[in-house]
Structure 1
Amino acid sequence: MDTHAGGDVSRIVTAGIDTLPGATVRAQMEYLRDDADGLRRLLLEEPYGIPEMSVDLLVPATHPEAVAGYIIMEVMGYPIYSGSNTLCTATAVLEMGLVPKQEGIQRFKLEAPAGLVQIEARVHDGVVESVTCEGLPSYIDTYRDSLMVPGVGEVTYSIAYSGGFYALVDAEALGFKLTLDEEAELSACAYKIVEAIKAKRGFSHYTLGDVGPLPFLHFMGPEEAVGEGYTRSRSATYVHPGVICRSTTGTGTSARLALMRYEGRLELNDKLETVSLRETGFIGTFTGTHQEGAYQVVENTITGRSYVLAESTIVINCEDPMVRCGELHHILSDRHRDANAG
């Protein structure tokens, strides 16, 4: 089932893959990453996909409170959490009937590689009008550091963790208005900044430890107060060389909330609406805070809407020279393996 949230297309894989080894969804994700990366590559590379897409593989939940598990696959690898992918997966679970739709508000839990995720869906006349999901606990690792970036100049940035490490930069200070015509230039600028920060230092999570080099950058536009406790800001998120997310991203929005709270500009239940280059948006809500060692950790939720684009069967033809079946055979279900042995 192909879906999108805020413009980010997520392909939800609902069948055709064998049960993966691993006692948790996190362990199953690690198995895919280390031993069966062919599925991610198949669905995100030509001829089946494009780097701007994401893939979410539905798997049986390993936690008794969850209705399903899901493994997130993106061009940069296997994030343990993603807001837009969670919104899309939750919508697909309802549209498939895995969780029967009920009018009004209904709540259930999914299991991401990061752990249990509380979902709240609003259904009206059988339509999933919005989904609210928990954002990961987010915090500021580095506040207003600066460095000289070749081809850009001196850049001031903060680093947040919200499911991945984000560099947060002021778009106006870099000459951007965050309009669609700037997309390619935003991507090129973000690449230079991210590479410069990676060359300077790495980052470590307070419990997860080393989660790899800095992957993401979030451009922050001017903030506009549109109501009491409600702020709106244009935003753009870089996730991979050449790729600016179609949406503002849930984790990018969570990172912004962490920064605003760090600066003392958020009160409980305050909201931030981030608006993308394509005029789509997510709403982040500050729901609490707690201390983890030296870090003030922000609890939050992300609200958005996901739309179903298509339901289809993907045919894997092993005679196609662009398909690497050798990286797939050991996880395809028997029916798919036999039909496409090629």
Structure 2
Amino acid sequence: MQTLLNNLHWEAPAQWLKIETIDMHTGGEPLRVFIAGLPAIKGETVLEKRRYFKEHLDFIRTGTMWEPRGHADMYGAVISTSTDADMDVFFLHNEGYSTMCGHAILALTKLVLETGMIKKEGPYPELTINVPAGKIYARATMENGLVSSVSFRNVPSFLYLSDQEVMVPGIGNVKFDVAYGGAFYAFVNAEDLQLELTAPHYNQLIDYGRRIKNAVMDNFSIRHPFEEDLSFLYGTIFTGAALEKEHHSRNVCIFAEGEVDRSATGSGVSARAALHHAKGELKINETIVIESITGSTMGVTVRELTTFGDHNAVIPEVSGTAFITGRHTFYFDPEDPFKKGFIFR
């Protein structure tokens, strides 16, 4: 076998696009981070960079998120230097581009500090990160040069719609709230719909999550206080009882085009903190631990009270852990009929 491998002397033709990534996961949710090979991305702000990528380089999103290089639930992050933060980041998925991603912030903090991409001193280094939703403040705990855990203070998060009801085709009347934690989510009690928040019920959760998201979008207006690009419903989050007694609850997020978040969803638990605080169910500086569909967890704490536009808001702090899974080189053969990828969902 080794002799066979020693005979491998292949190089990709110079005209092929070559993109390098480091892959990670947070609580089981994947993250593909682009580290080399991307064409120049024009723009000064994160929103300008994201807009340019969407208009000129979207084939890279589909080519690396979709099959055959990715899969329907792949997630990505494009990082770049910043004029007023440690880095700028925007996020990719099967449907397009998200506004905020907590699992990615947790993973990226580990990545840039452990690899030396960004150099910080001390046992608790801090990062400032620009994302489409605003500015994020992350903090790592270092042990022997490695990141053992990460937390971040999110953008102002708020309850947007409370105790609403919508008729969902094929399901019936569904009660829901909408809250914002860097993205807008519709929150639905899983028990009301006799749903179980476990892996064997994965496909039913996708089906119900997509139906509910579409029904809410068709019947309610979702408006961000300041940014038109952020004014949309990102997903449905089903909430229910925790499987482990020491945890507060479990939730499963169905976002984008039927993606299932394997983690507890950083922006989702931020929105939940705002929702629970607004309903008198979570005090300032009180922490709750929320399970995901894989059983992994994130903690969330209301750290500050604030306002955001016309909304009473909170500043949530989210904590979790991430891991590096691989380093990859992807080639784009100009003659490959599937170079832009394809998706079955």
TM-score (norm 2): 0.87
CA RMSD of aligned residues (A): 2.1
Could you tell me which runs of 5 or more consecutive residues in structure 1 were left unpaired when the two chains were aligned.
Answer: 326-342
Per the alignment, residue 163 of structure 2 pairs with: 144
Per the alignment, residue 16 of structure 2 pairs with: none
Go from structure 1 to structure 2 and tell me whether the alpha carbon gap of 1:223 and 1:260 turns closer, same or farther (over 3 Å shift): farther
The 3-state SS of whatever aligns with 1:21 is coil
Write the distance in 2 (CA, Å) between the matches of 1:180 and 1:271.
26
Is the aligned partner of 1:256 residue 2:289?
no
What is the aligned-residue identity percentage?
28
Go from structure 1 to structure 2 and tell me whether the alpha carbon gap of 1:24 and 1:318 turns closer, same or farther (over 3 Å shift): same
Write the distance in 2 (CA, Å) between the matches of 1:58 and 1:22.
13
Write the distance in 2 (CA, Å) between the matches of 1:32 and 1:47.
21
1:188 to 196, 207, 222: 207
Is the aligned partner of 1:75 residue 2:97?
no
1:296 to 290, 312, 326: 312
Matching of residues 98-177 of structure 1 within 5 Å: 98-100=117-119, 104-177=123-196
Per the alignment, residue 39 of structure 1 pairs with: 60
2:78 to 57, 64, 75: 57
The amino acid across from 2:94 in the alignment is: V
CA contact (8 A) 1:103 1:124 kept: no
Is the aligned partner of 1:5 residue 2:21?
no
Go from structure 1 to structure 2 and tell me whether the alpha carbon gap of 1:103 and 1:310 turns closer, same or farther (over 3 Å shift): farther
Q: 1:116, CA displacement in angstroms? A: 2.7
Per the alignment, residue 256 of structure 2 pairs with: 240
Q: 1:293, CA displacement in angstroms? A: 4.8
The amino acid across from 1:18 in the alignment is: P
Go from structure 1 to structure 2 and tell me whether the alpha carbon gap of 1:169 and 1:77 turns closer, same or farther (over 3 Å shift): same
Write the distance in 2 (CA, Å) between the matches of 1:291 and 1:13.
35
Write the distance in 1 (CA, Å) between the matches of 2:43 and 2:58.
15
Could you tell me which runs of 5 or more consecutive residues in structure 2 were left unpaired when the two chains were aligned.
Answer: 1-21
The amino acid across from 2:294 in the alignment is: R
Write the distance in 2 (CA, Å) between the matches of 1:102 and 1:310.
26
TM-score (norm 1): 0.88
Residues paired across the two proteins, number: 320
The amino acid across from 2:265 in the alignment is: T
Q: 1:226, CA displacement in angstroms? A: 6.8
Write the distance in 2 (CA, Å) between the matches of 1:293 and 1:38.
36
Q: 1:209, CA displacement in angstroms? A: 4.1
Stretch deviating more after TM superposition (290-299 or 279-288): 290-299
Per the alignment, residue 340 of structure 1 pairs with: none
Q: Deviations over 1:116-149 (max 9, x none)?
A: 3211001112221111112221111110111222
CA contact (8 A) 1:59 1:71 kept: no
Go from structure 1 to structure 2 and tell me whether the alpha carbon gap of 1:182 and 1:105 turns closer, same or farther (over 3 Å shift): same
The 3-state SS of whatever aligns with 2:331 is coil
Is the aligned partner of 1:21 residue 2:42?
yes
The 3-state SS of whatever aligns with 1:33 is helix
Write the distance in 2 (CA, Å) between the matches of 1:95 and 1:51.
29
Per the alignment, residue 306 of structure 1 pairs with: 322
Stretch deviating more after TM superposition (316-325 or 117-126): 316-325
The 3-state SS of whatever aligns with 1:183 is helix
CA contact (8 A) 2:134 2:155 kept: no
Write the distance in 1 (CA, Å) between the matches of 2:270 and 2:233.
16
2:299 to 273, 276, 283: 283
Q: 1:10, CA displacement in angstroms? A: 0.5
1:221 to 219, 240, 264: 240
Is the aligned partner of 1:273 residue 2:289?
yes
The 3-state SS of whatever aligns with 2:125 is strand
CA contact (8 A) 2:63 2:340 kept: yes
Q: Deviations over 1:27-73 (max 9, x none)?
A: 1111111222111111111111112111111211121xx22222211
The 3-state SS of whatever aligns with 2:36 is coil
